[in-house]
Amino acid sequence: MTAKITNNGGSQFDVTIGGIVIGTFDATGFVGVKNASIDAAKLATAVLPLGVGQTWQNMAASRSYGAFYTNTTGRTIAVSLVGNSSAVALVTASVGGATLFSQSVPASYNQTITLIVPNGAAYAVSWSGGTLAIISWDELRA
């Protein structure tokens, strides 16, 4: 499906997805819905850039290595984590089934991984070797 942004003849721009004009924007942001079947609130938040209306949240207490999580926020999120292993370890990170990071790290090394996770995508970080400590796991989300 293709998205297109066109000037509608003034200071506003129409957003078209799959050949259907779904909404209008101007320099300040969302103006209105062009298609009655589109929910204005969902459209307005769905097109916001990463970081707008989102804050970094400490997720360490509810996250663990090797588990898969799904981004159900309705927006793209960023994930940043730091881990440390007592021995040489293999660290792998994936988003949406694609391995984005796979590296052997030395013992007692703080490894930082940052991921961009689209809405609806599953993400995971696995760590094999040594005793693992999660130093931090933060997510930029609403």
Residue span of the structural domain in which 91 resides: 55-141
Q: Please indicate, yes or no, whether residues 77 and 124 belong to a single structural domain of this protein.
A: yes
Q: Please indicate, yes or no, whether residues 63 and 82 belong to a single structural domain of this protein.
A: yes
- Extract the residue ranges of the chain whose pLDDT is less than 70: 1-3, 17-20, 30, 34-47
Q: Please indicate, yes or no, whether residues 79 and 123 belong to a single structural domain of this protein.
A: yes
Distance of CA 136 to the CA centre of its chain: 17
Q: Please indicate, yes or no, whether residues 64 and 134 belong to a single structural domain of this protein.
A: yes
Q: Please indicate, yes or no, whether residues 64 and 82 belong to a single structural domain of this protein.
A: yes
Question: What is the per-residue pLDDT for 10?
Answer: 77
Domain count, the chain: 2
Question: What is the per-residue pLDDT for 6?
Answer: 76
Question: What is the per-residue pLDDT for 96?
Answer: 96
Amino acid occupying residue 53: G
Give, in order, the Cα–Cα distances in Å from 2 to each of 16, 18, 71, 79, 142: 8, 5, 23, 27, 27
Q: Please indicate, yes or no, whether residues 126 and 83 belong to a single structural domain of this protein.
A: yes
Q: Please indicate, yes or no, whether residues 59 and 114 belong to a single structural domain of this protein.
A: yes
Say what the pTM is.
0.70
Q: Please indicate, yes or no, whether residues 64 and 14 belong to a single structural domain of this protein.
A: no
Strand partners, 23: 15, 33
Listed in sequence order, the DSSP H helices in 1-142 are 40-46
Q: Please indicate, yes or no, whether residues 8 and 74 belong to a single structural domain of this protein.
A: no
Q: Please indicate, yes or no, whether residues 68 and 115 belong to a single structural domain of this protein.
A: yes
Residues 73/118, Cβ–Cβ less than 8 Å: no
Distance CA 125, CA 67 (A): 7
What pLDDT, in 10s, does the model give residues 17-54?
A: 666 677 777 777 767 776 666 666 666 655 677 888 89
Cβ-proximal residues to 84 (8 Å cutoff; 6+ apart), any chain = 108, 109, 110, 111, 132, 133, 135
